[in-house]
Amino acid sequence: MKKSCFKLLVISTMFIFAFFGTAGHNVIAQEDVFVKSDLMLKINGEQVEAEMFIEEGRVQIEAEAVNELFNGDFEEKFISLREVFETARAKVDWNGQERIINITLAEIDSEGMSNIELNSDEIVILAEEYILEKNTYKMSGNGISSFEMELPDMPVFPVLEFPINIEADLQYDPFKLYIKQSMDIPQEMLIELDNEGSSFDTVTNTEMLILEDKFYQNYPEDQWIVMSFEDLGMDEMLQYLTNMDPRETIELGKQYGIEYDLIDELTFNGEDCYVIRVELETDTLVSFIKDIFGESQLTLIDEGDLTKEELEIMNEQMLNLLDSIEMAIVQDMVINKETYETHQIISEMDYTFEINEVIEGEDFSGKVKTSSFMTLELFDYGVELDFPEIADAITLEEFTEVLLNE
């Protein structure tokens, strides 16, 4: 069961990351280069002849054509189409089926206001494209987390509420995500949990490093555990998630009921910003996992010398775990109106699941509830990041064997 739960953790992390941040490498297509005939450019509904090609997922257009349109003075042979037209406050849309780039030029009034109003989806796409262009950013924040466990026929488990801090570094190409989380549990709460007096550290640190093909987690005493996505049967699914462009991400989200709403406009650090809200509920995550893996193959991997019957039992346990999950996440993103840089994310999460295990011949069941409220700042876009170099990681099986021998 341990690998399957490990898999569920990774899936949940990557799924939430995909729809509550951004998860894609390319803006228009996955191929590297197309010739001119593959693409069509329309401006205000009229076809415009211009030489174009796609490089690293971004359309490049000949500067001469842009100079003629805008009486410009670009000296380069080719320039970024989206950057040029969005700087001119135009709206850029991509029709992937017909391979048409549709551009709507803005009309600017005497007060400098544009006649083009962006909807919430378009704002999110522009924000994600900004992040993809920069390729890297850092994130840090803090909040409050709580943990509660209900166990029948057992003494009441105290509700733990404690500060939580998160630091993260993210790079899209090649993909790397490093997360460090620390929780400062009050000493008096730990004493309640230990009849012989507190023997716990008040600060608990968790580190994760997700690469394109592996997932690392740091356990106590600085021991890194490594799992291969291929071994977990997750490599294709993660490639699918991390290679979606922002428009594909939004379209996929809509299939599972995820909507982005423009709920407010405010001033943040002296800059005008949008506030976009996105919500995720239980059915969304569960439906996604079942659709990706199929209800009969949630374990996908052989967790040792297990029989077919034992694997079927494990799969049933995974289904029961999924069906017991209750989850609600609300996230507000503060996005700069001019640059579309995401400055801040405010996140609230409630998560409940049931435990049904047999331990030493006795049934062990109950319900676990967790919740958190976090405020995260995003900064240092485009800087070079230093990720942990991990050389002494062991597998989950090796780690389990070490624990059993202690």
Per-residue pLDDT, averaged over 280-294, amounts to 71
The answer to whether the CB of 81 falls within 8 A of the CB of 57 is no
- Rounded to whole angstroms, the Cα distance separating 322 from 356 reads 12
| Residues of the chain above pLDDT 90, percent | 19
For residues 354-365, give the mean pLDDT: 67
CA dist 12 and 19 (Å) reads 11
Q: What is the pLDDT of residues 148-205, one digit of tens each?
A: 888 777 677 778 888 999 999 999 888 899 999 887 766 555 555 444 444 445 557 7
pLDDT, position 203: 58
Q: Are residues 252 and 160 in the same domain?
A: yes
Q: Which whole-number Å values give the CA distances from 395 to 11, 176, 321, in the listed order?
A: 19, 20, 24
Read off the pLDDT of each residue in 62-76 and give the average, rounded to a whole number.
Answer: 85
Task: Give yes or no for a contact between 93 and 42, defined as CB atoms under 8 angstroms apart.
Answer: no
Q: CA angle, corner 351, sides to 346 and 353, nearest 5?
A: 170
Residues 95 and 145 in one domain: no
| 27 lies in some domain | no
Q: Is the pLDDT of residue 100 over 50?
A: yes
Question: Do 372 and 246 belong to one domain?
Answer: yes
What is the Cα–Cα distance from 299 to 3, expressed in whole angstroms? 8
Q: Specify whether 113 is located in the same domain as 151.
A: no
Confidence grade of residue 112 (pLDDT, cut at 50, 70, 90)? very low
- How is the beta sheet containing 176-184 ordered, strand by strand? 223-228, 214-219, 203-211, 176-184, 160-171, 136-150, 362-379, 342-359, 326-336, 271-281, 260-268
Residue 391 lies inside a defined structural domain of this protein: yes
Predicted confidence (pLDDT) at residue 15 exceeds the cutoff of 90: no
- In this structure, the answer to whether residues 297 and 381 fall within a common structural domain is yes
Say whether both 151 and 247 belong to one domain.
Answer: yes
Q: Check: pTM over 0.85? Answer yes or no.
A: no
197 and 254 within one domain: yes
Question: How confident is the model at residue 309, as a pLDDT?
Answer: 72
Residue with the larger pLDDT of the pair 85 and 210? 210
Q: Which of 73, 42, 39 is nearest to 59 (CA)?
A: 39
Tell whether 196 and 109 lie within a shared domain: no
Stronger pLDDT, 71 or 361, i.e. the higher one = 71
Are 53 and 99 in a shared domain?
Answer: yes
Judgement on whether residues 236 and 286 belong to the same structural domain of the protein: yes
pLDDT tens sequence across 16-37: 555 555 444 333 333 344 444 4
| pLDDT score for 19 | 52
Q: Are residues 257 and 377 in the same domain?
A: yes
What torsion do the CA atoms of 334, 340, 343, 349 make, to the nearest 10 degrees?
A: 50
Tell me how far CA of residue 353 lies from CA of 165, 277, 318, 331, 385, in angstroms.
23, 25, 12, 21, 36
Burial of residue 385 (CB within 10 Å: 0-12, 13-18, 19+) is: middle
Taking the C-alpha atoms of residue 319 and residue 297, their distance in angstroms, rounded to an integer, is 10
Mean pLDDT of the chain: 76
Backbone angles phi, psi at 278, to 5 degrees: -135, 140
Residue 160 lies in a domain: yes
Residues 250 and 344 in one domain: yes
Q: Quick check: 125 pLDDT over 60?
A: yes
Last residue of a domain, one of 89, 118, 147: 118
**Among the listed ranges 120-134, 219-233, 352-366, which one has the minimum average pLDDT value?**
352-366
Residue 403 has a CB neighbour count (10 Å cut-off) of 8
Task: List Cβ neighbours of 113 (8 Å cut-off, separation of 6 or more).
Answer: none
Per-residue confidence band for 359, with pLDDT thresholds at 50, 70 and 90: low
Domain that holds residue 62: 36-118
Tell me the pLDDT band of 342, cut-offs 50, 70 and 90: very high
Total number of domains constituting the chain: 2
Question: Quick one: tokens of 119?
Answer: 């909807």
- Is residue 174 reached through a cis peptide bond, with omega within 30 degrees of 0 on the bond before it? yes
